[in-house]
């Protein structure tokens, strides 16, 4: 899988070199290139923003450097289709089935906006290109200062699903039981709580059933607790 990220803050993506994703890069399971949008900005000031048409607060990212940067990464990759992903609070909410779907794609391009976002003609233009698909995604209903952190979250959700990235792929199988079916996002089960040694810590004991060695009993207990947790959380969010 090939991933290109376009940003005015390349340093935000340094953590991708760490841990499991860093290993995936070394193993060439995924190739990630970070591009500085300012390389496409003209003049000594390297300006990438301007005032909004129609007035209002803040600045809007200009379309020209975005067009130049996106054209360059499209032309540099030989994929049949390029998926342009734009993180925005106005996007479709990211969920596990979308991460799974994106993990099956060959070339992802992430455009990280700042300020009040990117001139809307950029997504309109690429949406109309036959070899490009555009997805506007949100990682949740809260406002960040830019697309970088939301892109990092999305990248981690996708890359950990690629074959060979997780040390023990059984974790993905276990996880899959708590993931909702597509279109059934409301009904997902939360996971059961986990415990390890020591059996007593600061006066608190591990639930006795987990020490019983009775796997059927443990399975039943875990699903009961998972159902109770799920009920409690759904109650809190009013769902």
- The residue among 69 and 150 lying less far from ligand JCZ, judged by its C-beta, is 150
Q: How far is the CB of 239 from ligand JCZ (least distance, A)?
A: 19
- The residue among 7 and 40 lying less far from ligand JCZ, judged by its C-beta, is 7
Helix axes 19-26, 148-159, angle to 10 degrees: 70
Q: DSSP state, 103?
A: T
Neighbours of 157 (CB within 10 A): 18
Q: How far is the CB of 117 from ligand JCZ (least distance, A)?
A: 5
Q: How far is the CB of 89 from ligand JCZ (least distance, A)?
A: 4
- The residue among 41 and 150 lying less far from ligand JCZ, judged by its C-beta, is 150
Alpha helix locations (H) across 40-107?
63-76, 96-102
Can you tell me the distance from the alpha carbon of 238 to that of 231, in angstroms, rounded to the nearest whole number? Answer: 11
- The residue among 53 and 142 lying less far from ligand JCZ, judged by its C-beta, is 142
* Residue ranges binding ligand JCZ (CB under 6 A): 87-89, 113-114, 117, 138-140, 142-147, 150
- The residue among 33 and 59 lying less far from ligand JCZ, judged by its C-beta, is 59
List Cα–Cα distances, 86 to 25, 53, 89, 110, 147, in angstroms: 23, 21, 10, 6, 8
Q: How far is the CB of 163 from ligand JCZ (least distance, A)?
A: 28
Q: How far is the CB of 151 from ligand JCZ (least distance, A)?
A: 8
- The residue among 123 and 138 lying less far from ligand JCZ, judged by its C-beta, is 138
Encode 113-128: b = buried (16+ Cβ within 10 Å), e = exposed. bbbebbbeebbebbee
Can you tell me the distance from the alpha carbon of 165 to that of 232, in angstroms, rounded to the nearest whole number? Answer: 33
Q: How far is the CB of 116 from ligand JCZ (least distance, A)?
A: 7
Can you tell me the distance from the alpha carbon of 57 to that of 86, in angstroms, rounded to the nearest whole number? Answer: 22
Residue 184 exposed, middle or buried by CB count within 10 Å (0-12, 13-18, 19+): exposed
């Amino acid at each position: 899988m090939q991933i290109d990220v376009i940003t005015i803050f390349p340093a935000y993506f340094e953590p991708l070199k760490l841990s499991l994703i860093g290993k995936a890069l070394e193993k060439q399971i995924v190739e990630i290139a970070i591009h500085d949008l300012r390389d496409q900005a003209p003049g000594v000031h390297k300006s990438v923003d301007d005032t909004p048409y129609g007035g209002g607060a803040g600045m809007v990212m200009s379309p020209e450097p975005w067009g130049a940067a996106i054209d360059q990464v499209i032309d540099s990759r030989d994929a049949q289709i390029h998926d342009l992903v734009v993180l925005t609070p106005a996007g479709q909410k990211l969920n596990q089935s979308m991460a799974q779907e994106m993990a099956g794609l060959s070339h992802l391009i992430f455009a990280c906006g700042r300020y009040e976002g990117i001139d809307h003609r950029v997504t309109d233009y690429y949406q109309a290109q036959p070899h490009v698909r555009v997805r506007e995604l949100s990682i949740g209903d809260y406002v960040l200062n830019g697309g970088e952190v939301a892109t990092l979250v999305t990248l981690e959700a996708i890359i950990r699903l690629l074959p060979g990235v997780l040390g023990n792929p059984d974790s993905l199988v276990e996880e899959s039981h708590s993931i909702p079916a597509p279109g059934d996002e409301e009904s997902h089960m939360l996971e059961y709580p986990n415990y390890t040694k020591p059996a007593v810590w600061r006066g608190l004991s591990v639930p006795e059933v987990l020490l019983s060695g009775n796997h059927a009993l443990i399975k039943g207990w875990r699903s009961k607790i998972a159902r109770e947790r799920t009920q409690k959380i759904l109650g809190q969010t009013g769902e």
